[in-house]
Each structure stands twice: as C-alpha cells, then as structure tokens.
Amino acid sequence: MLYKLKFVFTAVLFGSLLFSCNKILDKKSSRIADEEGSWQSFENARSGLIGIYGLFRAALADNNAHWMWGELRAGDFRSVSRQDLKAVVDGELTAAYPLLEKVANWRRFYAVINAANVFIERVEGCMADKRYTEAYYKLDIAQARALRAFAYFYMVRIWGDVPFTTSSGDGGNFEALPRTDKNKILSFAEQELIAAADNLPYLYSGSDPEQKFPPNYYGYGQGTWLNAPVTRLAAYALLAHIAAWKGQYTEVVIYTDFIENNFSKSNVSASSVAFITSPSGLFSGDATDNYRQLLGFRFPKNQKETTITGHIEQLALANTVNFAMSKQLPDIYVPKDVIAELFPSAAGNDDRFGYDNRYTPPLLYTTYFENYNAEIPVFKKIRVLDGGTGTGSYAVFNSSIIFTRLEELRLLRAEAYAAIGDDGKALTILNSLRSNRNLKAVSLSENGDVLKDIFDERRRELMGEGWRWYDIVRYNRIRRNDPEFNKLLDNDGIYWPVAQDVLTRNPELKQNTYWK
Amino acid sequence: MRIGFIGNLRRGSLLAVLLMACCVVFAQEDSTATAGDSVKLKATAGITLAAADADSADISVNKVPLKFIQKQPYVSVQQMLKGNVAGVYVQEPSGEPGTEQNIFVHGIGAPLLNKKDLFEQQAAVFINGIPLIRENPFAYEVQKFDINRIGPATNLYSILNADNIKSIEVIKDPASLGFLGPMAANGAIWITTENARPGKSTFSVNAYTGVVPAEKVTPLNANYENQFRTPFYDRYATLNDRLRYPAFLRDSTNANYYGPSDWTDLYYKNTPVYAADFSLSGGVERANFRFFGSAMKNASDVDNTSLSRYAGSFFINVAPVKWLMVSSMINFTRLARERNRNIRDRIAEQGYIPDLTNPLTPNKSVYGSYLGEFGKVVDDNISNSIQGYLALSANIGKVNYDGRLAFDYNENMRDAFWPTTLLEGNNFVSAYFGYNQRILLSNTLGYTFDFSPKQSLTIKGGQSVTSDVNKYEYASGFNGPNDFIKINMVNGDPSASDYLIPKGFQVKYYPARMESALVSFFGNAIWKMGDALSFNAIVRRDGSSFMQPDSRWFTSYSGALEWNITEHLLTPGKTLSALKMNASWGRLGKLLSDDRFSGGAIYRVDMGWSGEPAMGSYVGIPGLTRPYTSGWVGYGMPWAYNDKLMVGLNAGLLDNRIQAGVAVYNRDDKQTLLPIPVASEWGYTGVYKPGLVVNNKGLDLSVNASILEERAGKLGWVFNANLNYNRNEVTALPDGLQELVLGTSKLETGKPVDAFWMFENNGIYASDNEVPLNPNTNKPLSYRGMALKAGDPRWTDQNNDYVIDEKDKVLAGNYMPKLSGGFGSTLTYGAFNLDFQFYYVGGRNVLNQYAANRLDFVNVEANNDINSVKEITFWEKKMDLSGYPQYNPWSSVLPYRADQDLFLDNASFLKLRTVSLGYDFSKAKNPSKFFEKFRQSLVYITGTNLLTVTKFKGDDPELADYNGVYTGFGLRMPRSVIVGFRLNF
C-alpha cells in the first residue's frame, strides 16, 4: 500500500509539472512588430508613412552628409584641421578617410525608397480599419510617391546613374540591380510628382473647401504638421528643381511661376535676415507657425528630437566673443577673403554681413559671421542650440535641414528666366530679393551678367544650406566657360564615387568612370 | 511591470520560505524520532549529471584546483578558470575589478563582430545545476557606443566566493553537454557549492587582507609629446599645419603641460583589499543545514576602482521520509562597484563629445583639482543577485525521481550624476534599473534495470521549462538646474497638468523588455557493463520561443562510450595504474539571444542614424519600418547547432601519482545566422541567413604529477600543467559564398574566423619616384585613384592592378589564441607549502590601435570623436613608438590606419600569476593542543600578477578587447600581496 502511495505521489508530482508548452513558447516581442497585425489599422498606416520621413531625415543627417554632398565640395567653406573634410572640399573623394566611404554610401536613400515601396504596396490593407478612409489612403500614397521621387532626385544629383526599382522586393532574393540612366530616373520622378501633386494639399489639417483631404490629419493640427509632410507646393518645388537639373528651364519657369502664384496657400512667406538667423526663426523646429520651411526636415526639441549630428552647426559653430562655446575652433569656416569677396559692401548695406568703413574702427554687421577679426571666423547664420534657448555651452542642436524655402525658389525662378533669355524678368526678381536684404538693385547696364549676379546672390543667401555644389554644377552647365570644370561635367566627375561597400555588394555596379 | 514582477517574486519566495520552514519542522520532528535511521539519499540539486562524465573520480583533469584559488584574491569565476583547465580561454580586457570578462571553451563558433556575438559564443555557468542568466545585449541597441553596457555593467559571475565552492568543473564532452541542453552548447562551467552535510557540526573561518601596491610607470609631459611630433612636422608639415599645432603643445612655458609630470601619485595608489567569510554547518542524516556568509573588497591600485561583495548562502537538506530528500538553497549576493573615472567611458554614456582639444594635464595640482570635482559625482553601481532552488529527490526501489524549482534573479542599478564642471558646463544624470530573471522547473524520472550483478541499464526521462525575463529602464538627462539637484524631479500628482513632465533636466527614457522560454523533453539511457564499459545516450527535444513557430523545436542527440581499459584488458599494475578511454559525440542545438527572429519579417523603429541610434520619432510621431539597419529577417530560420566529437584518454601511472589526460576534439558550428551583405539597393545593411559553418579542432592536455611524494621531513613536489591547442576555420558561408565582408572584417572559407583583415605593409616610399608606375598607363601606384607619394606606406598591391584598395587587404593573424593553458607546482616541506601558477597564451595577435592612434595624431585630434579622448594615461609611457616608420600623417591615404599588419602585434605571453607560501599548523610536527582542534589551520601569503614575459610592446597583451583590439584604455591588472588564514574546525 505504502509502495503504491509513493508511486502515486511521484506520478502526481511529475504530472502536475507538465503543462502545455507551446503556449509558453508563444511570446510576443514588445520590441518589434511582426507581419501578423501589420497593415491593418489607421495607426499602422501612420507609422509606416512617418517611417519614410524618419528614414529620409536619417539619410541626410547621418555624418552630416547633406552638407558633405551639397555644401563642402569646391564650396566656400574650408576645413580648419580635419583632413577628411579637407578632402571633400578639395574633391579628393576617394581619400582613405572613413567619413568619405560612409558619405559615398547610398544605402540610406534606398531604405527610404524601399520603405516607400513597401508602403505603396501594403497600405491598402489598412482600409480594413474604418478610420482609414479613401481620402487618407490617396493622400498617403501621394506622399510616399513624392518622397520616393525626391529620394531618386537627390541621389541622381549625387551619383548620376543609380539603380532603380519601384518594387519592395519584400522577402525576395535582393537581386543585384544595374544602374539606370539618370534621365530616365528624373523623368520617372517628374511623372510621379505630377501625379502626386494633385493629391497633395497645400496645408495639412488645414481648411479644405473641396473636402478632398482628411481633416485633422491623423489627429494632429495644422500647427504640428506645418510643412513637414510634402505639400503640393513642395511637389512643385521639386519639379522645378528636377527640371533645372536637367537644364529644361522653360519648365522651371512654369513650375516656379506656379509656386510664385500659390505659395501663400501653404502659408509660406519670405524671411527677413533677422528671421533666418534667429534661434527661434526659420531654422527652428519648434515654432508652431513656422511655415517657411517649404520642404525640409525638422528636429523639434519639444518632441525630444534634439541631436548632436545632422546639423551644420556641429561643423561650423565654435566659441565667439558674443557666444561662449566650449569648442574653440570650428571644423569648417569661410575664409575672410571669401567673405570679403562675397559681401563687398563698403557701406555695410547687406543685412547678412557687412563692414561699414564709415566708422573707426569699422563697424561689423555680424548676422552671418562672428569672430571676423580672428583668423578663423565663425559661420553662425544657423545657430539653433538646444531649442534656440541654448547658451552655447551645451552643444546640441535643433536646426532643421531645409531643402528649399521661398527665397531659394525665387532665385531659381530668376535663374530660369535668365537661362531662357528673359534677363529683364530675372533682374526684377533678383532685385526684389536684393532689396529684401538691403542691397541696392543691380541693372543690366551695370555689369550685364545677370546670371552671375543671381548665382552670387544664391551663394550669399543659401550659404550653409547645402546648395553650393549643385549651384556650381548648374552654373557651369549653362556657362561652360571653365575648361577644368567642363572636364568634370564631361567625365561625370561632378558625381560622387560609389562606396566600396556598395560595389562589393552589387556585382552589377562599376565605379563611376571618373573615380576609377 | 516592475511591481508586478516583484509581486510574483515575493509570492514565489514566500512559497519557498514556507516550504523550507515546513521542512525544518518536519526535520526536527523526524530527527528526534528516527535518529540513527540511515538515509540513502544525499543532498540534491534536482539534477544529476550523466554518469559518463569525462572525469572519473580518480583522475581529475577538468577541475579547477581550488586549493590554489582559495588562497588567491580572485573574485570572478572567469579569474578562477584562467589558466587552470585545458580548453578554457578567458579574456580579461581590463584590470578594473568587477568588469566583464569572457569565457570561451574550445574556441568560437562564429566571428566576434560586436558585443552581441560575444554573448552567443560564451560558455554557460551553472551553480548547483542552475544555469545563470546573463545580461542580455539588447541594451546596446540604444547606445551610441558599445564600450560599456548601460547600467552597472558588473560582471555577474563575481557572485561566488571560492571558499563556498566545492568544485568547478569545465564540461566539454558532448554527452554531458547534451544532457544539459542548448544553454550549454558552447560548453559549461559546472560549479558545485559546498553543501550541508550530516555529521559533526563544522565551522570554518577564512580571511585575508592585503595591499595592491601602486604601479610604477614612466610618466611623461608635453615635452616628450612635442619631441615625438617634431620630426613629423619638420618633414611633412605645411605652413597651415604648423599654424594648427595643438594648443597644449604650443607653449613650452606652460607649466601645466610642460612642467613636472607627477599625476601618477593621484592615479596609482596603494590600495587595501580584504575578505572574510565563515561557514557553519550541522545537523543529522535526516536534516542538516549550512550557512555561509562573506564580505569582500577587491580593489585595484588604478584610479580608485574596486568591487565590494557581501554574500550569504543558506542550505537545508531534509529527508521527511527515508526515500525522499528535499534540498534547498538560497544564495544572495550584493555587488557594489566603484568605477573608473575615464573620460571615454563617461562621454560614451553621455553620448555627447565635448571639445577634446586640451587634454588633462600631467601636473598633479591641476589634475588633483580636476579629481576634486568628482566629489560632486554620483556613480552608484549596485547589483543584487539571488539564486535558489527547492529540489526533490525520491528513490523508491529502482525508480528515481529528481525535480526542482529553481530561480536566478539579479537586479542591476546605476545612478550617475556628473556635475557641470566635468562637461562643458552641463551636468548629466542617468538612472538605470534592470533585472534578469530565470525560473526553471525540471523533472527527471529514472528506472534502473539490473540484468545481472554486472550489467545494468538506467533509463531516464524528463522535462524542463525555463522562463526568462530581461528588462531594463534607462533614463538620462542633460542640463539640470545646478549641481546640487542630482535627480530629475517631477510632479507626481496624476491630475496635474505637468504630471511626470521633467523639470530642469531634458530627459530621454528608454524602456525595454524581453521574455523568452525554453521547453525541453529528454530521454537518457545509460548502459553499464561492469566497471569496464558504459554507454550513455541522450535524445532531447527543445523548443525555444525565440525561434519561428515552424522551426521552434530542435532534436539534439548525443552519446558517449567509456571504456576502462585497465579494468577490461589489463590488470592494474603499479606502472600503469589506470587507463581509460572515452569517446563522445553530440549534436547540440544553440539558442539565439534576441527575440527579433521569432516573428519572421518584422517592422521596427529604425529612424536613427549612426550619431543618434535611438531616434524613435519624426516631429514627435512614432514610425515603423522594415529593419533596414539591423537587417532583414525572413522566414524558415532553422536552429543553429554544433556537432561535437571528443575522444580522450586518461591514464594514471605509478599508483596514480602521475595522472594525465589527453583529448582531441572536433567542433562544427552550423547554421549560424549571419547578416549577409546584399545589394544596398534594397535598403538593408544585411539579410540574416543561416549557413555559416565554423570548425574548431584541437587538443587538450593535462598532467598532474606528484614528482616527489609528500612525506614527513621530505620535500614534496606536485607538478600540474594544462595545455590547449585550438585552430578554427570557416568551412562554409551562407548561400555557398566563398568570402564575405562584414564591416571591417572579412570571412573567407578555409581561413580562420578570427583573422584581422588588413594591408601588408613593407615600409615607406622615401621619394615620389620610388612609387612604381603602371607600365600600361604610366600612372603611379595609387590609393583608389590618388597617386601615392613620398612619405606614404608601401602597401602590397596583391592583385597587381596598380590600385591599392580593399581587394589588396589580406587576412592575417588571429585574436583567439592557438595555444593557451597554465602550469604550476606545489612544494611542501613539513607544514610549509609553496605553490606557484603560470598562465600562458600563444599564437595570438592583437591589433595595436593604441600605437595607430598615437601616430595618427593629426586625424585623431582633428576628428574630435570618441577615439580622440586623451585619458590621464596619455601621459604614461605605455609603449615605445620609435620603431614605426615615419609616414606623412597628413597624407590622404591615412598612412597610420590601423588595418595594416604594421600594427598587428604578437600578443603571446607567459605570466607568473600567483605565488603562495603557506604554513599549516595542523600539520606541524608537534601541533599544540590548541591547533589539534582544527582540521585545517593555515596561514599564507600570496602574491598575484607578479611577472609577465612577452614580446608585446604595450603595457599588457591581455588588455585587448574581445575582438583583439588593443586600445590602451583598459586599466592595468592589479598586482597584489595578501596574507590570510584558513581555519576549519
């Protein structure tokens, strides 16, 4: 009997401890979302769309690449002592510095494109959620297509011919794609933007008499969105730039005229120099009424998106007499002779920077630069530290990466008129911008080179905004009067080399001929 | 979440305490009632290792010689293992007490590309059969730099006191590992603590105290650095470069930098260490107990670092009825760590790189005032760890039952605050709370068939469930109101509008939690044919929640054959007293460390970039995308596993006075997941694919010889030595690839998995016309299109295309050693004993990034990144740099890049790890009455880390990171001298 009891006891012990194990093994991860339950709801669609924007910002912010590509090469900035930045400035883009290899890598753009492709393929499923209406669907698709077109355009500017796909390839074999002709890609981008533009509003969560767009978009008001998502105006701005990059200036005129006639619908307005350089002004990501970033990427402090990298401030700012920072010397600076050449104002009449000789010692207008009297001046046009309240000791930044703003597009419009031979119209536009900067008007009889005046004005106005290199390229494409630069144009030397890592991964690719 | 868990734990521990209390009551009644009644069972841990253990009782080659360890001031399991068992390799990248160290048994099964890989390649540590849970590496995902894990980053294997350990055995044979399951696939460190025993009450006290004398180093001042740089400036600098001469070197009248270099007095200090413990055990056959308590402080002479440990263990064994034994253990440890004051470690946590132009000064008074600012610092690092089990062992005739409910829980807390004076006028606060919890339930039922007196078959079947939780909450904030408010204050009123909104500090908050479960079923058959032959076979099926539903289960099987040759064929003689052969083979499933593979194709937050990995929103709205940065995860991920074969021969000669063991092994790690680089045009950094196969093969050799027998009045000499030779090779890559580039590493089939990928350096081009010309194009040899010039290195153009690029890099060296082990001796004379232990590593390389960074001062200083940090040890002569060629440091080919064999150093070494001299009063010729009471009464003096013999030019070849990179940031290993006593009565 006792023996039996022991067996029962043991059996019960053993049995009681066995239980359903597959149930135990079904652990849902709290850190990731798997396929099951994705693309089914309103929130899924929002996350997917915001993801594309986030990846785009990351692509431009990583290693401050937006400025490596657009601002430094052959531009007005010089490196103080960083050899890798010097190599970019000098156009030695295959130098051994790790930074260059990273900046030459286009993977992050393809992450944007892939995320957009996945979104376009899958977001339809979210309509199962009643809150995700047709209006949302159309608007979101239009944004994804516009972002994808934007990413392709941005890449073509840097690398020329790049591989092209509109498929997510999800779960596929990640095949190696060959390069596609840059003009084909640009044409695709144009068609996409034209198609998307009609489905994009001028304002998100704005007044919408047609009742075409979702009100209170994703539950956020107009002041949250501002112009962070792609608006119809932004789509036209991109179209204008694509046309300009292709040299089709008649089209640029059409698009920029459209922008000129409609910008107020996006609450966009012109910026004064004071507003541009104010820590809570144009570049601030926190103001709830800053619609002047026509197309760009914000880093709002209030949303905990304060970062150290991804801002020109990280490279250009340093301690000045007026603004104490721990960093004694900047990484990059605009040499004094370049400043003097750009702002030749004898009477201090440029709001951006001036040197008024009527006073002794001469009076400095330090809106763009401080420490002008030192060997290395500090470029401080963009200085949004710690939400604009920073004293300079804590070097974290919130300035937005602005792709374009009204002044930029007006200068492009002037450029387009000049390029098609309408110097008068170009001059009118230019002079109106000049007068906004307290510069006297230029006239045709004075020096006769309107195009150069326009590009000089771009150089001053857009300094530090990632335009300089592309401006040089467009200017030389129009002029073709610099034999050295013509070589670059003819041999694809205007493009960046492709990172070794990218080439290793894709056997279909060959290095750009210029960099072989 | 946290409260919920603690609630659970509380309920669990309440149950355990109640059960224990019952047992005690039971035991007391029983012990009076049935005194003298014999009990068949011993204390149980609820798990019995299979019989076909490679070590048999008489020949022990896989156990750590604890009698040495117990006289040494070592605190971690890793340190106890180091050099003491063949086939175990321990990395100790820093001498800072309580920092993480790594254990590898028989090599690595995959490359160590980052710290996550490190987690997946290490051996598991078992305490009384409980596999200890480790810190999960998922916290690195929110970190900009993976120098230290966020939180206290304390080595959780520091919880054990050598005096509380009965044995440490390294389990390498596939059959035993198969019995232990997937957690042990990389080998197991099997630790058995001392336990309660019936019989006379025993009491023991052990203690030591000692000092870590301040290291004598050669301090430098700016003059040395100036002289070091001058030749480069004279030879290559342009006017512009000269104008940018670093400020701290520019002014030779600056006494702070050019004055006396006497900082070492404040950095290296004589530091006391101490430890004391006692144990008490007693009881009778049917109920007994043991208590162990200890306190210890382990410290280093470097930078005021230390680890304090307070530990207590309590064991109760009760046999309520004759056939049932109930055992329990509670083991509690508190670890507190004083961390280093390295700038690099600090700014790595802050994720903010200040202006690093001006380094700390070598001047004592200035450095002293800097250290004075640490008075405002808060840096509390506490880990509490508790293990326990309640185990049952029932024996009814031929039926055996083992069962246990075990848990391992550790919580790790860190509070840090650095004042404004240490970071550009900004203060920083961070708080970390994390816990790791493992609950394990297992049952084994066995039945023994006795066919004849000599032949028996034991069949076992069992099941276990392991449930893990890893969790942390981390918050950090910058820019608090002042240096007196060191916490982030919030309004705790839920109805207030500013409820929990941080005031003052800008707070970032990172919570993460991961759960996993492992369910196992296993069967085991042991067939014994007398003492001559035994066969052991194990089949198990394990299900892991980290695996995808369609491949959740994996079947592992292993077997062992043990053949006692002396028993079977020979008659044990005096010369050959024992000879045993064993062979075992096993296929063992391996676990993943991450839950992101279980769901197949996934979406996650991936909006960050290299400078901001944790960015989770855009304009404040969260976004989800495919995992572009971490890599595509598809479906059909199989279990990774390894096939292991081990054949060993153990012999005893001269009445087992000489014991030797030799074993050869072959290990193939298969189906390991690897992020394969695919075309970048899909956005991914890689695609996870199984298919990596890495082979390790090698040999373990152990000798333990009593050369001179210990006899009264005679000198006794016991010699011990162990050796491991291991070599690894990549035998296959996923998708049938032949080679694969992963970041800065390359894997190639047929080549070692731990090789460095680098250029071959052959000197310097003294002038431009020494650079070879391509006869076809008449262009000079170039670095990716840029012609090499005078002052550039001569790198071998492997493919003769007159372009130096990645294709010219070759695999060279290896960071895992080919040879490792230790040897030592014990000399006894009367009551005196002297022992010493050497530790050696051979055939290992390190990449000397320290030298590369010192020589590449132009870029390192200009970049102002994490590698630009100059610690106070910048002013210490760690190595002689004069042997390197004088390249043009401004050249755009990066002449002093680390990935060239110029910086590949031989890091083989031999260390005299300890010398210990003891006197045992109880062995004295005429012990006094007083000492007769003791079973042992030993006093000893021990010195550690006494001598290093190496060709390596840096300070210590051991101080390299897991991937073989010597950065010079690791703190020196402390030398120490202790005196102690051990009393048992």
Query: What DSSP string describes B702-738?
Result: EEEEEEE---TTSEEEEEEEEEEEEEEEEEE-GGG-S
pLDDT-derived band at A11, boundaries 50, 70, 90: low
pLDDT at A20: 53
* A338 in Cβ contact with A330 (< 8 Å): no
Question: What is the average pLDDT across A280-287?
Answer: 92
pLDDT-derived band at B11, boundaries 50, 70, 90: very low
Over residues B342-393, the pLDDT tens digits come to 999 999 998 888 889 889 999 999 999 999 999 999 999 999 999 999 999 9
Instruction: Give the chain B residue whose CA is nearest to the CA of A103.
Output: B610
Question: Length of chain B, please?
Answer: 985
Task: Verify whether the Cβ–Cβ distance A308 to B687 is below 8 Å.
Answer: no
> Which residues does chain A have within 8 Å of residue B445's beta carbon, measured at their own beta carbons?
10, 14
Over residues B832-859, the pLDDT tens digits come to 999 999 999 999 999 999 999 999 999 9
Whether residue B595 is predicted with pLDDT greater than 90 in this model: the reply is no
* B572 in Cβ contact with B653 (< 8 Å): no
Over residues B97-133, the pLDDT tens digits come to 999 999 999 999 999 998 888 999 999 999 999 999 9
Task: Verify whether the Cβ–Cβ distance A504 to B806 is below 8 Å.
Answer: yes
B604, B785, B893 member nearest A33 (Cβ): B604
Least confident span in A102-106, A352-356, B409-413, B786-790:
A352-356
Question: What is the average pLDDT across B752-774?
Answer: 95
pLDDT at B506: 76
Asked whether the bond before A361 is cis by omega within 30 degrees of 0, the reply is yes
Q: Which of B617, B678, B680, B887 to mutate to test the interface with A (most CBs of A within 10 A)?
A: B680
Q: Which of A9, A152, A177, A394 to mutate to test the interface with B (most CBs of B within 10 A)?
A: A394
Whether residue B7 is predicted with pLDDT greater than 60 in this model: the reply is no
Mean pLDDT over each residue of chain B, to the nearest integer: 89
- Residue from B187, B55, B170 nearest B560 by CA: B55
Task: Verify whether the Cβ–Cβ distance A34 to B600 is below 8 Å.
Answer: yes
Task: Verify whether the Cβ–Cβ distance A310 to B897 is below 8 Å.
Answer: no
Please tell me the distance in Å from A448's CA to the nearest CA on chain B.
39
- Residue from A279, A303, A58, A306 nearest B478 by CA: A306
How many of the other CB atoms lie within 10 Å of CB of A111?
27
- Give the Cα-Cα-Cα angle A130, A132, A134 (nearest 5 degrees): 105
Please tell me the distance in Å from A222's CA to the nearest CA on chain B.
13
Residues 21-40 in A contacting B (C-alpha not used; CB under 8 Å): 21-22, 24-27, 29-36, 38
Task: Verify whether the Cβ–Cβ distance A328 to B355 is below 8 Å.
Answer: yes
pLDDT at B480: 79
Over residues A200-229, the pLDDT tens digits come to 999 999 888 878 899 999 999 999 999 999
Instruction: Give the chain B residue whose CA is nearest to the CA of A92.
Output: B786
pLDDT-derived band at B32, boundaries 50, 70, 90: very low
What are the extents of the domains in chain B? 2-211+270-600, 760-808
Whether residue B572 is predicted with pLDDT greater than 70 in this model: the reply is no
Question: What is the average pLDDT across A267-290?
Answer: 92
pLDDT at B938: 92
Instruction: Give the chain B residue whose CA is nearest to the CA of A331.
Output: B862
Whether residue B10 is predicted with pLDDT greater than 50 in this model: the reply is no
Please tell me the distance in Å from B843's CA to the nearest CA on chain A.
30
Over residues B619-638, the pLDDT tens digits come to 999 999 999 999 999 888 99
> A232-246 and A249-262 are packed helices; what angle lies between their axes, rounded to 10 degrees?
160
Question: What is the average pLDDT across B742-746?
Answer: 90
> How many percent of chain A have pLDDT more than 70?
95
Over residues B476-489, the pLDDT tens digits come to 988 777 888 777 77
What is the rounded CA–CA span in Å between residue B771 and residue B788?
7
Q: Where are the beta strands (DSSP E) in B733-781?
A: 739-742, 745-748, 756-758, 761-764
- Give the Cα-Cα-Cα angle B34, B39, B40 (nearest 5 degrees): 165
pLDDT at A208: 82
pLDDT-derived band at B505, boundaries 50, 70, 90: confident
* B212 alpha carbon, distance to own chain's centre: 23
pLDDT at A7: 57
Q: Is A262 on the interface with B (CB under 8 A)?
A: no
* B573 in Cβ contact with B582 (< 8 Å): no
pLDDT at A107: 97
> Which residues does chain B have within 8 Å of residue A108's beta carbon, measured at their own beta carbons?
609, 628, 683
- Residue from B882, B894, B898, B885 nearest B953 by CA: B882
Mean pLDDT over each residue of chain A, to the nearest integer: 91
Least confident span in A67-71, B506-510, B548-552, B924-928:
B924-928
> Which residues does chain B have within 8 Å of residue A395's beta carbon, measured at their own beta carbons?
352, 354, 424
Residues 83-122 in A contacting B (C-alpha not used; CB under 8 Å): 83-84, 87, 92, 94-97, 102, 105-108, 110-115, 118
> How many percent of chain B have pLDDT more than 90?
71
pLDDT-derived band at B58, boundaries 50, 70, 90: very low
Task: Verify whether the Cβ–Cβ distance A24 to B465 is below 8 Å.
Answer: yes
Q: Which of B321, B404, B521, B621 to mutate to test the interface with A (most CBs of A within 10 A)?
A: B621
pLDDT at B895: 96
Question: What is the average pLDDT across B527-538?
Answer: 89
Looking at per-residue pLDDT, the higher value among A11 and B790 belongs to B790
Task: Verify whether the Cβ–Cβ distance B479 to A386 is below 8 Å.
Answer: yes
Over residues A456-493, the pLDDT tens digits come to 999 999 999 999 999 999 999 999 999 999 999 999 99
Over residues B863-917, the pLDDT tens digits come to 989 999 999 999 999 999 999 999 999 999 999 999 999 999 999 999 999 999 9
Q: Is A12 on the interface with B (CB under 8 A)?
A: no
Looking at per-residue pLDDT, the higher value among A317 and B3 belongs to A317
- Give the Cα-Cα-Cα angle B481, B486, B490 (nearest 5 degrees): 75
Question: What is the average pLDDT across B9-14?
Answer: 42
* B698 in Cβ contact with B726 (< 8 Å): yes
- Hey, what amino acid is at A46? R
Please tell me the distance in Å from A58's CA to the nearest CA on chain B.
5
Is residue B915 classed as helix, strand or coil in its secondary structure? strand
Task: Verify whether the Cβ–Cβ distance B683 to A113 is below 8 Å.
Answer: yes
* B182 in Cβ contact with B556 (< 8 Å): yes
Question: What is the average pLDDT across B311-333?
Answer: 93
pLDDT at B652: 87
> Which residues does chain B have within 8 Å of residue A63's beta carbon, measured at their own beta carbons?
609-611
Task: Verify whether the Cβ–Cβ distance B894 to A97 is below 8 Å.
Answer: yes
pLDDT at B25: 40
Q: Structural domains in chain A?
A: 39-199+492-516 (1.25.40.390), 230-268+405-479 (1.25.40.900), 298-399 (no CATH)
Over residues A37-91, the pLDDT tens digits come to 899 999 999 999 999 999 999 999 999 999 999 999 999 999 999 999 999 999 9
pLDDT at B566: 82
> Which residues does chain A have within 8 Å of residue B425's beta carbon, measured at their own beta carbons?
326, 393-394
- Residue from A332, A364, A318, A367 nearest A345 by CA: A364
Is residue B391 classed as helix, strand or coil in its secondary structure? strand
pLDDT-derived band at A6, boundaries 50, 70, 90: low
Q: Looking at residue A175, what DSSP letter applies?
A: P
A18, A55, A169 member nearest B463 (Cβ): A18
Question: What is the average pLDDT across A249-265?
Answer: 96
How many of the other CB atoms lie within 10 Å of CB of B837?
24
Question: Length of chain A, please?
Answer: 516
Over residues B205-261, the pLDDT tens digits come to 999 999 999 999 999 999 999 999 999 999 999 998 998 899 999 999 999 999 999
What is the rounded CA–CA span in Å between residue B534 and residue B527?
6
Task: Verify whether the Cβ–Cβ distance B615 to A94 is below 8 Å.
Answer: no
> Which residues does chain A have within 8 Å of residue B441's beta carbon, measured at their own beta carbons?
17
Please tell me the distance in Å from A21's CA to the nearest CA on chain B.
6
